[in-house]
Amino acid sequence: MTTQTARPKPVIRLGDRVFARSTLIAGSLILVALAAVAIFLIVEAIPALGADPKELKGSPSSFWTYVGPLAFGTVWAAFLALLIAVPLATGIALFISHYAPRRLAQGLAYVIDLLAAVPSVVFGLWGIKVLAPAVQPVYAWLTDNLGWFPLFAGPVSGTGRTILTVAIVLAVMILPIITAMAREVFLQTPKLHEEAALALGATRWEMVRMAVIPFGRSGLVSASILGLGRALGETMAVAMVLSPSTVISFVLLQSENPNTIASNIALNFPEAHGTGVNVLIATGLILFVITFAVNFIARAIVARRKEFSGAN
């Protein structure tokens, strides 16, 4: 008759116990803060949903006709910024990770990362004082020569403070986020894959196209969505550069441009009172939902191919 000796219980050290509890509390605090923000927005937004249209700026027929152009402008400006930033960031990341000499790559990466430290107000001043006057003649040329294309229809803005200028400013602002993540993902491509492609006779570009880009595709998508989230919530730069109107328009070069939710809140909150404050908070709730949906889509895309993602 054999006797089984009881296995000794693992000893959990005090440091491990404190660390485990600390991480649990930190994770819980994030959820609590997110829930608190959502509850605050919902409670404060309820009075605005049934507000008298006369209390809304611009006298729209309802709250939804008021927030519709703002939501459109928010998504449209962020989409244009992403359209400009993603190809540029991808090219910079590939150059730093696979083409540039090490010393040049380190310096260039440092300069790109420095852009993330520049305040939004500085980008706004640059956009309104430097970029807008510089691109206005280009806009006039586009309207004169390509005005038949709906996006470039006239009349052209005389100041250059258009939705396209805002998109360029936002693209520069989100460039460091996308570039940094894409660079790290591309650098994690297995050397065996790269060397195998080169051994089979592939050129440097063919190796990048067949080995590096497929490996980092999902990471690049998640980086792009993070940049999109930053562009959706940007406030000061948009408020300073854009010449806003309550319109829904895809035209890029006119003086009447759709405003964004964040910019509208920043411009109108100092003068808001009563139900007007609730209306602005309700538009903030719409922005919260849009941002949450963007992040949810990003996680879903990354999770589909997480085994190939350098971001996970």
What's the mean pLDDT in 235-239?
85
Range 202-210 average pLDDT: 83
* pLDDT at 281 > cutoff 90: no
Query: Who wins on pLDDT, 167 or 193?
Result: 167
**pTM listed for this prediction:** 0.84
Q: Considering only the C-alpha atoms of the chain, give the largest distance between any 2 of them, rounded to a whole number of Å.
A: 99
| Residue 262: half-sphere exposure toward Cβ, Cα within 13 Å | 21
55 pLDDT above the threshold of 70: no
Domain range summary for the chain, segments of one domain joined by +? 50-308
CA dihedral 46, 49, 54, 60 (to 10 degrees): 150
Report, as an integer, the average pLDDT of 213-231.
84
20: how many CB neighbours lie within 10 A of its CB?
11
pLDDT at 4 over 70: no
C-alpha count within 13 angstroms, C-beta hemisphere, residue 185: 33
What DSSP element (H or E) covers 287? Answer: helix 275-304
Q: What angle do CA 89, 92, 97 make, to 5 degrees?
A: 120
pLDDT category, 220, cuts 50, 70, 90? confident
* One-letter-per-residue 3-state SS of 197-265: HHHCCCCHHHHHHHHHHHHHHHHHHHHHHHHHHHHHHCCHHHHHHCCEECCCCCCCCCCCEECCHHHHH
Architecture of domain 50-308: Orthogonal Bundle (1.10)
Closest by CA position to 75, among listed 305, 310, 290: 290
Q: Which of 88-92, 147-151, 199-203, 247-251 has the lowest mean pLDDT?
A: 199-203
